[in-house]
Structure 1
């Protein structure tokens, strides 16, 4: 089935936000423009209420809405959306309410973190209403695809990629690593139980660091542990892996399948207190035998290194190449 042809593709993005979702939306904008499309970012606050007049959906203007870190994607912005049949608009699952303002344009929902969007789904009327809506669905993870499929909703894969800076940094690093275990704020309730069982190990929560400092932590540490909810194909495990950390995760969300985090099952555990002795034993084995254990993540790192090419191919399959 040929991809549709659009005059303009608008991408709605939360203003001034520097997280995985907004970066993925900017990556989409860059990929679309590289395919010859007129793609434009539309920045809005989370509670934005646009005005609609004569086929124009206008969002309130915001000063400096784009973080400087996204300037290199070089995607133009606008606050006006022409609600016309020849145009398209991509929104994240948190902005389902915007669909009520669109009548002619072709809307796409990109499910970036499906668990975080459940409240918006309920406010929209549930998945039954989502299924009946005049919209196409894109998925950032296999987890989202399978979740939607259970609701009889077909989603097309558009998986974002780990920023090239991390891949480049990994290729150029040959330094030593310290016996340090990194973990995010999410899932902290369980990670603190692990620390209580292994107080002799060096644990470092990733909080309050700049992006470059986080990169250096990954480059100089041996292990990244993540028992968060994994509502999408999270960036941090991928960044840790490509920068040379071994990975241990829970089994919630996207960590529960072998596609979004394709690591050996022996490195994934239920976040149950009964599992703590097994988890701590696995962690100690990794820390004492890092040079051998890091080889278990070679396939994962290779997949991460090829994410951008796959992402571009997926975007082209959905939207086509403008003029060719």
Structure 2
């Protein structure tokens, strides 16, 4: 529980003019807290960017400031990519929000040894770093967007409260109008995540139509999801990613690997048959499953009904969680 006093202002740090899953969630939180009567403002960093609000998030109508009142009754919520800037605040209460796990260790601003730790995948050193106070000692509270992050922090003996996210209303509304009769036997993928392995699958299915989800507007992504049968994601899943959920509600068959959050049913509750580890030896099984989804789409898509229902209820769960976490005193 985070106590919010009558004179508390909540600041939410966010990169300026960037439209992606993390920044949208930060705006969603500000919007929901504002609707509950809290004094909340976005704090874009760097704070010298003109018109810092991405046009995609103007709909959330979040006010923003260029300075933070560093007083102990206030609260600043800091996503993991900004953990290294936490020392600029001396008095204010600080809440670290782990929107991902892996991204902390590859941030440009991260100390060099952090980036090397992640590159070498020496997991026990992660814990040593936090015990030495590099992350653990900076924050009064920790929130985690995924069960993957909650479990990761538990290994560091850091308690984090689960606060996830939800898909935006435009996607949810449009997804209910999908006509499966218009689906085409094509496969979507994200070339920015897991492409080294994905291209091996593509090489094993040269006859298939592969479409990358890259350099597209949200509306264009929606159109491709609307007409496609399959979405695959063999990325590292640093948090509870949005693309698999967006694909699922647009009635795509979703196939993932087992890295990061994808290994957790709490984060990616797909039927187990649609999760296959990204090993070369598994490529024949992955190809077989993709071909089956394309050839027998009507049968496979019914297996994702529970996943879709769970996604549609995420906003309600998010509102319930913030009511329990942010408490007026």
TM-score by length of 2: 0.90
Q: 1:34 to 1:289 in 2, by over 3 A?
A: same
Q: Please tell me whether residue 77 in structure 1 is matched to residue 64 in structure 2.
A: yes
Distance, in Å, in 2 between the alignment partners of 1:249 and 1:71 is 32
Q: Please tell me whether residue 287 in structure 1 is matched to residue 290 in structure 2.
A: no
In structure 2, the residue matched to 1:126 is 129
The 8 Å contact of residues 147 and 267 in structure 2, kept in 1 or not, is answered as yes
In structure 1, the residue matched to 2:161 is 156
Residue 2 of structure 1, CA deviation? 7.6
Aligned residue for 1:82, secondary structure, equals coil
Residue 67 of structure 1, CA deviation? 0.6
Q: Please tell me whether residue 19 in structure 1 is matched to residue 20 in structure 2.
A: yes
Residue 62 of structure 1, CA deviation? 1.7
The 8 Å contact of residues 8 and 39 in structure 2, kept in 1 or not, is answered as yes
The 8 Å contact of residues 131 and 152 in structure 1, kept in 2 or not, is answered as no
RMSD: 1.7
Residue 135 of structure 1, CA deviation? 2.2
The 8 Å contact of residues 41 and 76 in structure 1, kept in 2 or not, is answered as yes
The 8 Å contact of residues 101 and 239 in structure 2, kept in 1 or not, is answered as yes
TM-score by length of 1: 0.91
In structure 2, the residue matched to 1:30 is 31
Aligned residues: 308
Q: Please tell me whether residue 166 in structure 1 is matched to residue 171 in structure 2.
A: yes
In structure 2, the residue matched to 1:57 is none
Unaligned 5+ runs, structure 2: 116-125
Residue 35 of structure 1, CA deviation? 1.2
The 8 Å contact of residues 3 and 317 in structure 1, kept in 2 or not, is answered as no
The 8 Å contact of residues 16 and 52 in structure 2, kept in 1 or not, is answered as yes
Aligned residue runs from structure 1 range 100-111, under 5 A: 100-111=87-98
Unaligned 5+ runs, structure 1: 46-59
Q: 1:188 to 1:134 in 2, by over 3 A?
A: closer
Distance, in Å, in 1 between the alignment partners of 2:49 and 2:44 is 8
Residue 103 of structure 1, CA deviation? 1.9
The 8 Å contact of residues 231 and 254 in structure 1, kept in 2 or not, is answered as yes
Residue 201 of structure 1, CA deviation? 1.5
Distance, in Å, in 2 between the alignment partners of 1:194 and 1:90 is 40
In structure 1, the residue matched to 2:118 is none
Q: 1:190 to 1:2 in 2, by over 3 A?
A: closer
User: Larger deviation: 126-135 or 149-158?
Assistant: 126-135
Aligned residue runs from structure 1 range 1-324, under 5 A: 3-5=3-5, 7-45=8-46, 60-119=47-106, 120=110, 122=114, 126-128=129-131, 129=133, 130-174=135-179, 175-185=181-191, 186-320=193-327, 322=328
Aligned residue for 2:215, secondary structure, equals coil
Q: 1:127 to 1:318 in 2, by over 3 A?
A: same
Residue 99 of structure 1, CA deviation? 1.7
